[in-house]
Structure 1
Amino acid sequence: MAVSGNPFLTGDFAKFDFASMMDPSKLAEQWEKIDFTAVPEQFKVPGVDAQALVDAQKRNIEAFASANKIALEGAQAVVRRQAEILRQGIEDASKAFGELNAAGTPQDKLAKQAELMKSAYEASLGNLRELTEMATKSNGEAAELLTTRVSESFSELTGEVKKAAKKK
């Protein structure tokens, strides 16, 4: 006899570390701690393959964890590159101050200042472009993974509906 109530609330969530959701590498491990093996037995609906639903959800969670990992790694790469850009910017500024303090006429110093400002502006645009491309690439990879999984989910759902229709 089927048990009434929500079959998805029978898992032991006390073992689940919700803080791990911020660490994609540990997210899948946390889901393994929850026992969903009883769900198909408790969720008996005629014509519905509960195990297929559980398996599909597991694949969804795995895809989500992988996408999070890709996005997190991309964000970390952007932050590392920003730190490199900052370090280089400080070095460049120090060098520029040295060049501006060098002996020369006021006109020479003004020309040098304009040259340094132009160079700094162009470098900033290049850095901005690079950081944007890095973020776009990792976010695109994560989105592609999720898009693929959504498409697979719809195909799986269509297959299950067709199976159920044949059984009637």
Structure 2
Amino acid sequence: MADDKDKTASFLPDFDIKKLLGDMKLPAVPDMDAVLSAHKRNLEALTEANRVALEGAQAVARRHMEILQSTMSGLTETLKELSTAGTPTSRAAKQTELLKQAYENAVANTKELGDLIQKSNAEALNKLNSRVSEAMTEMQAAFGKK
């Protein structure tokens, strides 16, 4: 065993690892605290965007339920109106009017739900875009490329 150490020492007698590493041109290592802090802010931004998206989804679900309840109430009223006695012509006119109204309500409700979804998604995306922009600025500063 001692012979092995002697052979290594005789094979590389002037080898200095510190000198070798010191002579190498290694890229600067960024401040690890800054890197960890940036990752923390990235996670916070992602968490915030997810929170906004979840709240938006909940708002859409609530509004969808309200629309469904309103539609069911309207359907009950429609069936009552159609069951009343009347001439076939007046009943046909009433059905046409009710169908037109139902269609217009469906279009308006779909647009409203679409707008809610779009607003929620835009808000969440803005939070992520803002953080990405900040992260790029931080990276430029960390690597001295302002």
The structure with higher relative contact order (CA 8 Å, sep 6+) is: 2
TM-score normalised by the chain length of structure 2:
0.79
Query: Which ranges of structure 1 fall in alignment gaps of 5 or more residues?
Result: 1-44, 164-168
Provide the aligned length of Structure 1 versus Structure 2: 120
Q: Distance in 2 between matches of 1:86 and 1:139?
A: 23
Q: Could you tell me how far 1:103 is from its partner in structure 2?
A: 1.3
Runs of 4+ aligned structure 1 residues displaced above 2 Å come to none
* Amino acid in structure 1 at the alignment position of 2:43: I
Choose from 84, 103, 106 the match for 2:66: 84
Query: Which ranges of structure 2 fall in alignment gaps of 5 or more residues?
Result: 1-26
Larger Cα-atom Rg: 2
1:14-33 pair list within 5 angstroms: none
Deviations 1:1-51 (A, max 9, x none): xxxxxxxxxxxxxxxxxxxxxxxxxxxxxxxxxxxxxxxxxxxx8432111
Choose from 43, 58, 62 the match for 1:61: 43
Q: Distance in 2 between matches of 1:83 and 1:112?
A: 27
Identity, % of aligned positions: 45
TM-score normalised by the chain length of structure 1:
0.69
Q: Secondary structure at the match of 2:112?
A: helix
